[in-house]
């Protein structure tokens, strides 16, 4: 009886250990079952709290960073430009416009293959600097106008059409007219230069700027719209500068054709060297 009395506490403790082991295995088995009570309890835990059963993140399960957060210095430069645009919009607009016109003029002169002409660059910078603030005012007005609550697509389409019919022909006339006037040409010659260049540039603008304007108003934040338009504007201003140069060369060729016919003939000198009719002496017949 003493043996059984001393063995009973040992068996009781051993049975308790087996029960704990079995309960632990059951808990681990239930944690991997989606329909278990443990899973439903863990799903009710508020997000952000650490759980012992949470798996360690692996590269395939980590969400990738957005593109603008991975660009590094470019993102910081864009953010700095956005702050400058909000703080000093006119100064920022003039500076960015001058950069666009400078790059466009240098590109157009390289395409022509001729020697670099600094006066052409000076004319382009003058034209761009004078038009920067009015163009900024126009696009700010256009951004706050024609905003129909019924249809966003109709709003963007209206902005595109209004910009193409009102802004593009006026700006192109200003660009080509100022190019002629700053070159020293007369007002009548500037009007003729506009007639030669604006229709072609207006037709070609429909191939590019409606899509650019629609993307700008649909997806680009307001403080970055001038940057987006400026990137496209480098190519467009290069085309305008090239078209302007082609018109100038055509006008020079036409002037060369007219000048020899309109130039007055120098008076002839006679045999004694005096001014007069160039009459050859005739021999007297015997």
What is the residue extent of each domain of the chain? 72-260
Give the span between the Cα atoms of 4 and 211, in whole angstroms: 95
Looking at residue 283, what is its pLDDT? 53
Looking at residue 111, what is its pLDDT? 84
Query: 207 phi and psi, to 5 degrees?
Result: -80, -15
Looking at residue 38, what is its pLDDT? 46
Query: 60 phi and psi, to 5 degrees?
Result: -75, -20
Q: Any idea what the Cα angle at residue 184 is, between residues 182 and 189, rounded to 5°?
A: 95
Which segments of 144-224 does DSSP mark as H helices, in order?
Answer: 152-162, 168-182, 187-205, 209-219
Looking at residue 5, what is its pLDDT? 47
Looking at residue 137, what is its pLDDT? 95
Looking at residue 4, what is its pLDDT? 46
- Point out the residues of the chain with pLDDT beneath 70: 1-72, 259-286
Give the span between the Cα atoms of 94 and 102, in whole angstroms: 12
pTM above 0.85, yes or no: no
Looking at residue 25, what is its pLDDT? 52
Q: How many residues does the chain have?
A: 286
User: Please, what sign has the CA dihedral across residues 227, 228, 232, 233?
Assistant: negative
Short-list 172, 137, 144, 173, CA closest to 158: 144
């Amino acid at each position: 009886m003493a043996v059984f009395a001393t063995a009973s506490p040992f068996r009781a403790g051993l049975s308790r250990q087996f029960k704990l082991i079995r309960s632990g295995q059951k808990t681990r088995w239930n944690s991997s079952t989606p329909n278990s009570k443990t899973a439903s309890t863990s799903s009710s835990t508020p997000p952000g709290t650490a759980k012992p059963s949470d798996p360690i993140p692996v590269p395939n399960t980590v969400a990738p960073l957005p593109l603008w957060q991975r660009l590094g210095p470019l993102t910081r430069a864009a953010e700095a430009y956005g702050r400058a645009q909000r703080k000093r919009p006119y100064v920022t607009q003039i500076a960015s416009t001058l950069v666009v016109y400078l790059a466009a003029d240098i590109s157009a002169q390289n395409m022509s293959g001729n020697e670099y002409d600094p006066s052409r660059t000076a004319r382009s910078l003058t034209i761009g600097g004078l038009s920067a603030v009015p163009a900024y005012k126009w696009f700010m007005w256009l951004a706050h106008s024609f905003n129909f609550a019924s249809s966003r697509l109709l709003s963007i389409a209206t902005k595109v059409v209004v910009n193409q019919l009102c802004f593009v022909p006026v700006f192109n006339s200003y660009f080509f007219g100022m190019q002629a006037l700053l070159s020293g040409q007369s007002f009548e010659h500037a009007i003729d230069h506009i007639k030669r260049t604006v229709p072609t540039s207006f037709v070609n603008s429909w191939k590019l700027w409606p899509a650019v304007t629609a993307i700008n108003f649909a997806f680009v934040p307001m403080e970055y719209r001038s940057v987006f338009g400026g990137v496209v504007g480098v190519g467009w201003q290069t085309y305008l500068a090239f078209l302007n140069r082609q018109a100038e060369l055509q006008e020079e060729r036409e002037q060369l054709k007219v000048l020899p016919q309109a130039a007055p003939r120098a008076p002839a000198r006679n045999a004694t060297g005096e001014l007069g009719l160039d009459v050859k002496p005739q021999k007297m017949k015997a």
